[in-house]
Amino acid sequence: MMKMKWLAISAACLMLQGCVVAAAADLAATTVLTAGKLAVKGTGALIDAAIPDGDDDDDKKDKKRKKKKDKDQEEYSDDE
């Protein structure tokens, strides 16, 4: 009876070691990925702040298109 108890305890310890190793590896991978993601986001924000990419030009074009579309719709509604 005593051998079965020790065998069960030993088996449980061996099985749980795999879970501990998997949990530690998962924690390490998550930490590395999160740190990498934060570094990339920070670098991207810094680059966006330092180098303008022409968003203002795109906004101006969009406004012109919208005004033209609104004007065309007004002309169409006046014709009816």
Task: Give residue 44's identity as a one-letter amino acid code.
Answer: G
Rounded Cα distance between 24 and 22, Å, is: 5
Quick one: tokens of 45?
Answer: 């924000």
**pTM confidence score:** 0.43
Residue ranges of the domains in the chain?
Answer: 19-79
Q: Which residues are CB-contacts of 44 (< 8 A; sequence separation ≥ 6)?
A: none
Question: How does pLDDT run across 38-63, given as a tens digit for each residue?
Answer: 999 998 888 878 877 656 666 777 77
The pLDDT of residue 34? 93
3-state secondary structure 22-79: HHHHHHHHHHHHHHHHHHHHHHHHHHHHHCCCCHHHHHHHHHHHHHHHHHHHHHHHHH
